[in-house]
Amino acid sequence: MDDLITEFIAETRDMLDALGGEIIAWEAAPADRSRLDEIFRFVHTVKGNCGFFDLPRIRGLSHAAENVLTDLRSGKRAADPALVSAVLAIIDRIGELVQELESGETLASGDDEQLIAALDQEAGETKGETAATTSMPSIRSNLRSIRLPVDLLDRVMSGVSDLVLARNELARCLRESGYGAGVEAAFDRVSATIGEIRDAITHTRMQRIDNLFATLPRLARDVADELGKKIALEIEGGDVELDREMIEMIRDPLTHIIRNAIDHGIEDEAVRREAGKPATGNIRIAASQAGNQILIEIADDGRGIDGDKLVARAMASGLLSQNQADRLSAAQRTALIFEPGLSTAGQVTAISGRGVGMDVVRANVERIGGLIDIDNRPGLGLRLTLRVPLTLTIIPALTVQLNGQSYAVPRSTIEEIVRVKGGAVAIESLGGSSIATIRGRRLPLVSLGAALGVTHQEATEDQCLIVLRPAGTGIYALAVDKVSDHEELVVKPAAPAVMATGLYGGTTLADDGRPILLLDPPGIAATAGIALEAGTFDTSFASTATAAPEADAKPALLFMSLCGVKRIVPLSAVERIEDVPSEAVQISAGRLHIALGDSILRLQGCGAEAAGRAIRILRLSDGINQVAYGIGDVVDIVPLGTDILPAATEGEVRGVTLIGGEQVEVLDLFHLFEGSATSEPEGARRICAIPAEDHWMETILGPVIESAGYRIVRAGDPGAEMADIHLVNSDEISVKPCIKSGRVVKICSDPEKTAGDAIHRYDRSALLDALADTASGRKSRA
Domain ranges of the chain: 2-118, 150-204, 208-389, 393-527, 543-673, 682-781
Domain 682-781 fold is Rossmann fold (3.40.50)
The confidence score (pLDDT) of residue 535 equals 33
Considering the four listed CATH numbers 3.40.50.620, 3.10.180.10, 3.30.565.10, 3.30.70.20, the one that applies to the domain covering 208-389 is 3.30.565.10
Q: What is the mean pLDDT of each run of 10 residues along the chain (782 residues)?
A: 68 71 74 77 74 74 83 80 80 80 67 78 40 32 57 77 79 76 81 80 77 82 87 86 78 86 89 89 88 82 88 84 82 81 55 55 73 85 83 71 86 79 71 73 85 69 77 74 77 74 78 77 79 39 32 73 87 78 80 79 82 83 82 79 80 86 87 64 73 84 82 84 85 58 84 74 85 67 38
Beta strands in 135-247 (DSSP E): 206-208, 231-236, 241-243
Which CATH superfamily, name and number, covers 393-527? SH3 Domains (2.30.30.40)
Q: Are 724 and 774 in contact (CB under 8 A)?
A: yes
Chain centroid, CA 148 distance in Å: 39
Residue 311 to residue 320: CA distance in whole angstroms = 8
Residue 49 to residue 4: CA distance in whole angstroms = 11
Q: What are phi and psi of 515, to 5 degrees?
A: -75, 145
DSSP 472: T
Residue 635 to residue 398: CA distance in whole angstroms = 28
With 0-12 / 13-18 / 19 or more C-beta atoms within 10 angstroms meaning exposed / middle / buried, residue 3 is exposed
- Tell me the pairing of strands 476-480 and 441-447: parallel
Distances (CA, A) of 57 to 110, 116, 425: 11, 11, 73
The confidence score (pLDDT) of residue 105 equals 67
547 three-class SS: coil
Instruction: Kindly report the number of other CB atoms within 10 A of residue 607's CB atom.
Output: 11
Q: Are 491 and 568 in contact (CB under 8 A)?
A: no
Instruction: Kindly report the number of other CB atoms within 10 A of residue 565's CB atom.
Output: 13
Top-level class of domain 2-118: mainly alpha
The confidence score (pLDDT) of residue 549 equals 38
The confidence score (pLDDT) of residue 675 equals 59
Residue 388 to residue 362: CA distance in whole angstroms = 12
Residue type, 203: H
With 0-12 / 13-18 / 19 or more C-beta atoms within 10 angstroms meaning exposed / middle / buried, residue 638 is buried
First-to-final CA distance of the chain: 106
Cα four-point dihedral sign 693, 694, 696, 700: negative
